[in-house]
Amino acid sequence: MIECVVLDCDGVILETVELKTEAFAKSARHLGPEAVRTLIDFHRAHGGVSRYEKYRHLWREVFGREISDAEMADMVDRFIAAAADALVECPLVPGVLDFLNEWSARLPLYVASGAPDEELKYILKVKNLSSHFKGIHGSPTPKAELLAAIVACEGVAPERTLMVGDSGTDLDAARRVGTLFYGRGPFPPPLPWGEDLRGLSAFVAEHAAPD
């Protein structure tokens, strides 16, 4: 029985995955093709991880050392410059608005994202989506910790909480916390998933308590 739903943002609420992939590529072009390839490969494999972890990985793999604070600030600035306007204008994932309109008054809905917390709140406010959510939470706190904190704050059992995500990071968080999972897929069976979120309302209705 589902009593609480937690959604990732990129690729679940907003169609930002390819947009952010291109922004990451642009942010690393001055470092050369190996750096771009390393960053994009890690980004595609770990979509729900914060940009800070992605740049730390890049520095370790390509330069063999930790990234400095100044280098991190420079990379984040490059990423924001490449992505800022497009992030505000990006479309919603098909089905997500119908789900929010149907369920935000019936169940507590939350966002747990790898995007920076302030940026996440700003984008969802600009998109006029903030009012649908009881809480919106982003990095630097890791996804699993965000999910665990939401479950604890809401006072529901993990197995009655649904995590909706599109990456292995989201699935790992659900497994670590013990919640249910619905994927914007594909995901391997027996995990439930859809090509977009047009099937999410029906899935939640099937597993939620009757009104």
- For 58-114, write each residue's pLDDT tens digit: 999 999 999 999 999 999 999 988 887 777 788 999 999 999 999 999 999 999 998
Q: Do residue 70 and residue 108 come from a single domain?
A: no
How far apart (Å, rounded) are the C-alpha atoms in residues 144 and 158?
A: 12
Domain of 121, in residue numbers: 4-15+91-207
* Final residue belonging to a domain, choices 72, 89, 106: 89
* Final residue belonging to a domain, choices 89, 112, 135: 89
Q: Say what percent of the chain tops pLDDT 90.
A: 80
pLDDT tens per residue across span 9-39: 999 999 987 888 999 999 999 999 999 999 9
* Final residue belonging to a domain, choices 89, 106, 128: 89
Q: Do residue 137 and residue 182 come from a single domain?
A: yes
* Interior/surface letters 22-45, b for 16+ CB within 10 angstroms, e for the rest: ebbbebbeebeeebbebbbebbee
How many domains does the chain divide into?
A: 2
Which residues, at least 6 apart from 74, have a Cβ–Cβ distance to it below 8 Å? none
CATH code assigned at 144? 3.40.50.1000
Q: What is the pTM of this model?
A: 0.81
Q: Do residue 139 and residue 193 come from a single domain?
A: yes
Q: Do residue 188 and residue 100 come from a single domain?
A: yes
Q: Do residue 110 and residue 128 come from a single domain?
A: yes
